Amino acid sequence: MTKKQFCDSCQCDAVTVIVERPATYKFRGESFDINERVLQCSVCGEDLYDEDLDSETMQTLTKLYTEKVGLSLQDIKEIRKQYGLSMELFSRILGWSKSTIARYETGKFIPTSSHLIILKRLKDSPESIYEFFKQNLHKFNDKEIEKITKKLNFVDQNEVEKNLIETIQLNFKLHEKTIDTGYGVFNLEKLAHLILFFSEQGVPKTKLMKLLFYSDYLNFKDNLLSITGLPYVRLQYGPVPKDHELLLSTLEKIEFIEVSYEYSGEYEVNRITALQSFDESLFDEDELEVMMKVKEKFKDYGSKSISDYSHNEDAWTKTKEREIISYTHADNLLIK
């Protein structure tokens, strides 16, 4: 498509052509080689201004630039979102104007080089926002500080939780659908609620470990599948879920349970107490029946007596110290 446009050199409306050519641009302090398209006068060959082609070149440069610094428009939009902060608070934490943030997020402006460096840092390490918050702390009143702290704390917490849960899932993946897990797939949510089921009134940790063991093994015996998909290990005091410390500290962090410390004689006793309510809809009828049976059977047992009881199980006597207890031993469980 050719169109006529006024040419300054020829001083008349001239037929134009679009020419593609390599060009080098300095853009925001960086040098870029691109192929640009320009409008030229077909008579004298002079460049003519064309708004569309000009903005095409700008777009190419912007794209190359954001690629070079490693931050796309989408990234920029996500940065504030990850904190759950309003534009107002976010801009004040950084000490920028609210309209600056708005322009960046809509893509109307590319951030200045120094702002880009900051945004890139916030993307790569979200916790670096604390530095800006500290610097500008005096600009906020107490109420705002409390609100922001809560929001930012949440980010940190989220990151920790996400990593922990991923680690745990990976950890148990190894044993998935094998006899080690009673052919189950590890289900953290079910485990969490099974623990809630037993800890509504608080329960000593050692006893809880055995209650989980009996629930999973009895369900395997009756219904050929474990409830939680957990592998259990033989330890000196009886069977315990593999990596139980990691599991409990994770559930503590995500505020499902509280772990408190008490002294019984010279021993320190950890007590687990539910912080959330038990959701029975996660379990089927057979599972609930097994859980109720286990709760009822051991209701008057303390840590010591349930440990002693479990020491008579094949699961314990026929497994070597620290080894995973096969669910095949469920056939001979003493509890029925």
Q: Which residues bind Zn ion (CB under 5 A)?
A: 7, 9-10, 14, 41, 43-44, 46
With left for phi above 0 and alpha for psi between -120 and 50, is residue 148 left, alpha or beta? alpha
* Angle subtended by helix axes 205-223 and 285-297, to nearest 10: 140
- Residue 18 or 160: the one with the smaller Cβ distance to Zn ion is 18
Sheet holding 267-274, edge to edge: 203-204, 267-274, 257-264
Residue type, 244: H
**Could you tell me the smallest distance in angstroms from the CB atom of residue 6 to Zn ion?**
9
Query: Which residues are within 8 A (CB) of 145 and not within 5 positions of it... i.e. 6 or more apart?
Result: 137
Q: Are 3 and 16 in contact (CB under 8 A)?
A: yes
- Residue 50 or 252: the one with the smaller Cβ distance to Zn ion is 50
Residue 291's nearest CA partner among 238, 213, 231 is 213
Nearest-5° Cα angle at 22, 46 to 111: 100
> How many H-runs (helices) and E-runs (strands) does the chain carry?
13, 10
* Dihedral (CA of 180, 183, 188, 193) sign: negative
- Residue 41 or 240: the one with the smaller Cβ distance to Zn ion is 41
- Residue 44 or 160: the one with the smaller Cβ distance to Zn ion is 44
**Could you tell me the smallest distance in angstroms from the CB atom of residue 25 to Zn ion?**
24
**Could you tell me the smallest distance in angstroms from the CB atom of residue 122 to Zn ion?**
50
**Could you tell me the smallest distance in angstroms from the CB atom of residue 53 to Zn ion?**
17
**Could you tell me the smallest distance in angstroms from the CB atom of residue 47 to Zn ion?**
10
Nearest-5° Cα angle at 320, 315 to 322: 100
**Could you tell me the smallest distance in angstroms from the CB atom of residue 4 to Zn ion?**
11
Buried b (16+ CB within 10 A) or exposed e, 218-231: bbbbbeebbbbbbb
**Could you tell me the smallest distance in angstroms from the CB atom of residue 12 to Zn ion?**
8
Identify the helix (H) or strand (E) that includes residue 183. none
- Residue 7 or 194: the one with the smaller Cβ distance to Zn ion is 7
- Residue 43 or 174: the one with the smaller Cβ distance to Zn ion is 43
Distance CA 222, CA 206 (A): 24
Cα 158 from chain centre:
6
**Could you tell me the smallest distance in angstroms from the CB atom of residue 42 to Zn ion?**
8
- Residue 9 or 158: the one with the smaller Cβ distance to Zn ion is 9
- Residue 4 or 139: the one with the smaller Cβ distance to Zn ion is 4
